[in-house]
Amino acid sequence: MLEANAVDYETSIPNNVGLSSDRRVLKALEKWHPGYLSWWNEMGPEGFQDSLVYLRTAVGVEPGGWAKFDYVRMPEYRWGVLLAPKEENRLIGFGQHKGQPAWQEVPGEYRSMLQRLCVIQGDTEPASVEQQRHLGATAPSLYDMRNLFQVNVEEARHLWAMVYLLQKYFGKEGRSEAEGLLIRRSGDEDRPRMLGAFNEATPDWLSFFMFTYFTDRDGKMQLESLAQSGFDPLARTTRFMLTEEAHHMFVGESGVSRVIQRTCDAMNQAGIENPFDIDRIRALGVIDLPTIQKKANLHYSLSLDLFGSEISTNAATAFNNSLKGRYREDKIEDDHQLINATYPVLKPVNGTFKLVDEPALTALNMRLRDDYTRETDSGVRRWNRQINKNGIDFEIRLPSVSFNRSIGLFSNIDTTPEGDSLTQEEFLSRQDDWLPSVDDGAFISSLMEQVTEPGSFAGWISPPRIGIDNKTGDFEYVRLQ
């Protein structure tokens, strides 16, 4: 008899949801599994399926000791279905159903909306794996290669998490949607992924670090909101996903930090004080700080679009129906129903930008985006303290929310990163000043060479301060075949 929350490894699919006694769902997942493995082998990390990788695998869902580390071939990774511990007698914390017992089954009137939330979340998970599948060939170290593969297998497990919900709670339609998650492809013209940022290319490792810092942080904000859901299986699923997601953002923030550190070291060693002396800095084989700023501009603006329109009746409906809460809803001190509440929304008004009070219910996307920006900016400030500590006069800044937008109030407006209005012609003529150009991409690509000697790193990035699982600097994180 398994203890509550223990992971059952006796079934073909590790789980803590009692699949061994839920034959219908187990059979459905086992039927889905071969298609998943086919997808993984086709669209997962290219060229490394036979390599032994030092990966962590979940062995429980309690906060302490939930994962173990060991070598495994990625196609043999034990993907499973894991939910955070159940909170007995949990009550819904927001919306019109506030104070009622959390739902253990899908309320019929909200079936379509809940299914849509699961599908959209599920679609992002395999998309990022597809975007990153070629990066192993240019990994700057075995340490970084291992981190890439850890992110990949956990994003794939998050796909499993959503597929379980679809298979168990949404019947024939859910099974059809689960199949669709394996059919769409990132960037495919005919079958693209559902959200724009997940159809962008990830051509190099700086892009990967920016993606895991900026875009995975959007994922965290969405998961935090879903973790408040009145539908308890969704809330528990996303709570455990957040446990794994933290490492992905660490990979991004520390990766950019290591790129910055190597650039600062090279500049100081060469006696270069001007960070805009780009040709001399690039001749050192490192990535200049202005180009790092351009990458930040791109990934931040793409990530803002993932929050959707600032004013949204769909977001209001999801909140009012107690399906998706606010970021850390349980920490907010208000009525949790937003009756007569307002929230300031930045809007274009007569050629300028003004904060306008809007009903808080319809401004939920704006609030979540503001929470995201505050948290994102804290990491950018850490990068700037690092640059300042190295004695270099340069500051990375988040661009205006009006810059390079495709969705929402600013989608038809062109501005500088500072928020100054431009005509479309002016923007197009100057965009290479603010966003990565073809030449920038070609230079970064020229640095992307695979390094496979344990303890060695490419010349454009510094080693980490500490290894994964406290391993020494020369640990063989990936045993290449």
232/48 Cα distance (integer angstroms): 37
Assigned domain for 138 exists: yes
Asked, for residue 3, whether it belongs to a domain, the answer is no
Q: At residue 389, what are phi and psi to the nearest 5 degrees?
A: -60, -30
Q: What is the pLDDT of residue 163?
A: 98
Query: How far apart, in whole angstroms, are the C-alpha atoms of residue 12 and residue 29?
Result: 10
Tell me, yes or no, whether 109 lies in a domain: yes
CA distance 18 to 32: 18
Q: Tokens representing 301?
A: 């603006």
Q: What is the pLDDT of residue 62?
A: 81
In a domain, 208, yes or no: yes
**How many other C-beta atoms are found inside a 10 Å radius of the C-beta of residue 172?**
7
CA atoms within 13 A on the CB side of 357: 3
Question: What length does the chain have?
Answer: 481
Q: What is the pTM of this model?
A: 0.96
Which residues are CB-neighbours of 96 under 8 A, at least 6 positions away?
A: 320, 321, 322, 337
Tokens 């998650």 correspond to what residue?
181
Q: Please list the rounded mean pLDDT of every run of 10 residues in the chain (481 residues).
A: 67 91 94 97 96 93 85 96 95 98 98 97 97 98 98 97 98 96 97 93 97 96 97 97 94 98 98 98 98 98 96 97 97 96 94 94 98 97 98 98 96 96 96 98 98 98 95 95 74
The number of distinct structural domains making up the chain is 1
Integer Cα distance of 399 and 70 in angstroms = 41
| pLDDT value of position 61 | 87
Residue 446: give its domain's CATH number.
1.10.620.20
- Tell whether 241 is covered by a domain: yes
Q: Provide the 3-class DSSP secondary structure of residue 377.
A: helix
Torsion of CA 243, 248, 253, 255, to 10 degrees: 140
HSE (side-chain half, CA atoms, 13 Å) at 296: 28
Query: Quick one: which H or E segment has residue 348?
Result: strand 342-349
Asked if residue 153 lies in contact with residue 77, where contact means CB atoms within 8 angstroms, the answer is yes
CA dihedral 303, 308, 309, 311 (to 10 degrees): -120
Q: Please check whether residue 326 lies inside any domain of the structure.
A: yes
**Domain span at residue 130?**
90-467
Is 479 part of a structural domain of the chain?
no
* Pick from 3, 1, 5: nearest CA to 236: 5
Domain membership of residue 447 (yes or no) is yes
Which pLDDT does position 4 carry in this prediction? 55
Give the pLDDT of residue 2: 46
